[in-house]
Structure 1
Amino acid sequence: MNVRKFFRSFRYAMEGLLAAVQEQNFRFHLLSAFVVVLAGFLTGLSTVEWCIIILVIAFVIGAELINTAIERAVDLASPEIHPLAKQAKDVAAGAVLVFALASVIIGLLIFLPKWF
């Protein structure tokens, strides 16, 4: 195993995260994650609840990263507007929406009983 290549891959991954931070939706998901983590500390979540919250945050942010990658690849492959390119981007965005809505429901199931 080439150790230098291995550590270089982490640098590339960080560059990808920094590129994603330029996206408005990605920043919104990061802000939402920060608010949820803060609420979790103030609420006193159990270890299992924290595991669920961390997984949900990772899924939403991961989905947003994949969506951004798909959008960039589609833009590169099809610079002009094409119905299939639009569909690919819309479907990827729809996947993020599904994860985000599920995360809201999971968050409500975890937090509401503790608050009321």
Structure 2
Amino acid sequence: MSSRPDALPPANPQKLRTGLSRVWHAAGYSLEGLRAGWGETAFRQESMAALVLLPLAFWIGRGWVQVALLAGSVLLVMIVELLNTGLEAVVDRIGPEWHDLSKRAKDMGSAAVLLALLLALGIWTAAIVERFAG
């Protein structure tokens, strides 16, 4: 915030928080985001898969790098899904009518989820092949 006397205060008073108060409130907003994500079928499915895949990553992975790649790829899918859901919510907030740019934004969000899933599939396939064929 500027120290100029004519500077306007931020539109969101939450931006004035500092230190532990800011961290505490940010954590609360993050939990709210996870709760909102839980309301989406795709995120729930990915979360259920993560409950199985994250522990499995420690068994399949040979060393910390493989474990990090396996677990990270699962978390990446969930992260991209949350971002896609947020993007869709913003587009829907703008208006329910069909618009080419709205469709394009939603399609690109969906494509990002697909790419994250393909990346995870590739990483898991390579690790499983190395673990059991090598």
- TM score, norm. by length of structure 2: 0.77
CA distance in 2, matches of 1:71, 1:28: 18
1:73 Cα shift? 0.3
Does residue 19 of structure 1 match 2:36?
A: yes
Which structure would you say has the larger Rg?
A: 2
Q: Over aligned residue pairs, what C-alpha RMSD do you find?
A: 1.6
Aligned mate of 2:101, from 75, 84, 94: 84
1:79 Cα shift? 2.0
Aligned mate of 2:53, from 27, 36, 50: 36
Aligned mate of 2:72, from 55, 67, 71: 55
- Which stretches of structure 1, 4 residues or longer, exceed 4 Å deviation after superposition? none
2:58·2:67 contact (CA, 8 Å) conserved in 1?
Answer: no
Does residue 3 of structure 1 match 2:17?
A: no
SS at match of 2:39: coil
Structure with bigger helix share is 1
Percentage identity across paired residues of the two chains: 29
Structure 1 stretches of 5 or more lacking a match?
none
What is the one-letter code of the residue matched to 2:91?
A: V
What is the one-letter code of the residue matched to 1:69?
A: G
CA distance in 2, matches of 1:31, 1:45: 24
SS at match of 1:79: coil
Structure 2 stretches of 5 or more lacking a match?
1-17
Deviates more, 1:88-97 or 1:36-45: 36-45
1:95 Cα shift? 0.6
1:29 Cα shift? 1.3
- TM score, norm. by length of structure 1: 0.88
Aligned length: 116
